[in-house]
């Protein structure tokens, strides 16, 4: 599942270091409490979650870049 | 640019420790007050970077000194070189970059760039957002060395070399010329995301200042 992040997440992600060239490894928490580790963000704007789920951008409440 | 060292400055260099076998990394202060980091070889020659030394000296071991003398003559022939007031050996621990750290860049020690160093970044995005509107790089941005980047001929080749999880060919090349003393960490890309890695990776710890990034090649996808 891949979706384009709202600009407020892009702004936050650009303030964080990359995990490799052009991507960041992130954990994502949703409003309903579900959490997805090992998600990826490309160019600070495209979120990719391995699981095959339906997701709207406004369901995301937290994105944390992995150390 | 290769140039010879004056006798006075030669004695100054010989009174200071080496940074490594046969060379010193020096902070050069020009008469104008400008400062620049240079490589001093055998207390006799000055160069902007190791790549200049390799280019001038060639690959054969013989006649290296003669080749450097010739390169220095060519530099002088191109116009008067700015006079150097002093040469001071900088701290070796930060200034000397030995063979790349074999682990990932994230675990490497911090080092500093030298004048003339060039880096490349390969991106699947033409509007790579880690490149600022002022043509700098944001802190914590990854790139590779020019030498390693030269091995990448297609966007597809960048994917396994830099273990990119995004399999879209990284066709957009950005060229980075940071000023000397830009802090970086350099290592080798580790296998990840079902990709082998093996390329050189560089992290610009504090980013790179405005005006240091330009567009490079647009690579074919395959």
pLDDT, position B142: 97
Asked if the model's pLDDT at residue B147 lies above 50, the reply is: yes
B193 CA: distance to closest CA in chain A (Å): 11
At which residue do the structure tokens 């940074």 appear? Answer: B19
| Top-confidence residue, B18 or B71 | B71
Tell me which residue has tokens 């046969």. Answer: B22
Q: Are A44 and A14 in contact (CB under 8 A)?
A: yes
Q: Do B138 and A14 touch (CB under 8 A)?
A: yes
pLDDT (0 to 100) of residue A63: 97
Q: Is A55 on the interface with B (CB under 8 A)?
A: no
Residues B30-47: tens digit of each pLDDT: 998 888 888 888 888 898
Integer angstrom CA distances of residue B24 from B4, B5, B93, B97, B127 = 14, 13, 12, 12, 40
Mean pLDDT of the region B62-89: 83
Of B140, B3, B151, B22, the closest CA to residue B77 belongs to B3
Asked whether the whole model's pTM tops 0.80, one would answer no
Q: CA of B140 to nearest chain A CA: how many angstroms apart? A: 4
The per-residue pLDDT for range B47-72, each reduced to its tens digit, is 887 777 777 776 555 567 777 888 88
Q: Containing H/E element for B4?
A: strand B2-4
Is B125 in contact with A23 (Cβ distance < 8 A)? no
CA A22, chain centre distance (Å): 14
Instruction: Please determine, for residue B94, whether its predicted confidence score (pLDDT) is greater than 60.
Output: no
Q: Give the closest residue to B166 by CA, choosing from B130, B123, B110.
A: B123
Q: How far is B215 from chain A (nearest CA, A)?
A: 16
Q: Could you tell me the two tokens for B75?
A: 């530099």
Q: Best interface-test mutation with B: which of A21, A42, A67 has the largest number of B CBs within 10 A?
A: A21
- Asked if A43 and B163 come within 8 Å (Cβ–Cβ), the reply is no
Q: Which chain A residues contact residue B189 at CB under 8 A? A: 20
pLDDT higher than 90, residue B201: yes
Residue B36, strand partner residues: B28
């Amino acid at each position: 599942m891949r979706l384009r992040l709202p600009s407020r997440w892009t702004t936050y992600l650009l303030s964080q270091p990359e995990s490799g060239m052009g991507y960041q490894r992130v954990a994502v928490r949703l409003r309903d409490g579900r959490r997805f580790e090992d998600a990826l963000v490309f160019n600070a704007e495209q979120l990719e979650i391995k699981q095959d789920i339906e997701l709207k951008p406004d369901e995301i409440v937290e994105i944390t870049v992995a150390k | 640019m290769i140039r010879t060292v004056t006798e006075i400055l030669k004695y100054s260099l010989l009174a200071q420790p080496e940074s490594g076998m046969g060379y010193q990394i020096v902070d050069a202060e020009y008469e104008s007050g400008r400062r620049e980091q240079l490589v001093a070889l055998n207390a006799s020659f000055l160069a902007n970077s190791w790549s200049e030394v390799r280019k001038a000296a060639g690959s054969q071991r013989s006649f290296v000194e003669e080749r450097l003398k010739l390169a220095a003559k060519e530099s002088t022939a191109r116009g008067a070189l700015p006079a150097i007031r002093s040469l001071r050996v900088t701290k070796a621990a930060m200034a000397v970059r030995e063979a790349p750290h074999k682990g990932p860049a994230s675990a490497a020690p911090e080092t500093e760039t030298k004048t003339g160093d060039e880096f490349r970044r390969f991106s699947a995005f033409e509007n790579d957002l880690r490149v600022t509107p002022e043509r700098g790089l944001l802190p914590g941005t990854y790139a590779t060395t020019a030498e390693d980047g030269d091995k990448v001929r297609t966007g597809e080749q960048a994917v396994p070399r830099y273990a990119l999880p995004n399999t879209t060919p990284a066709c957009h090349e950005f060229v980075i010329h940071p000023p000397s003393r830009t802090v970086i960490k350099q290592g080798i890309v580790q296998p990840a995301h079902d990709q082998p890695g093996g390329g050189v990776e560089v992290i610009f710890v504090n980013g790179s200042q405005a005006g240091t990034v330009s567009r490079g090649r647009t690579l074919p996808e395959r």
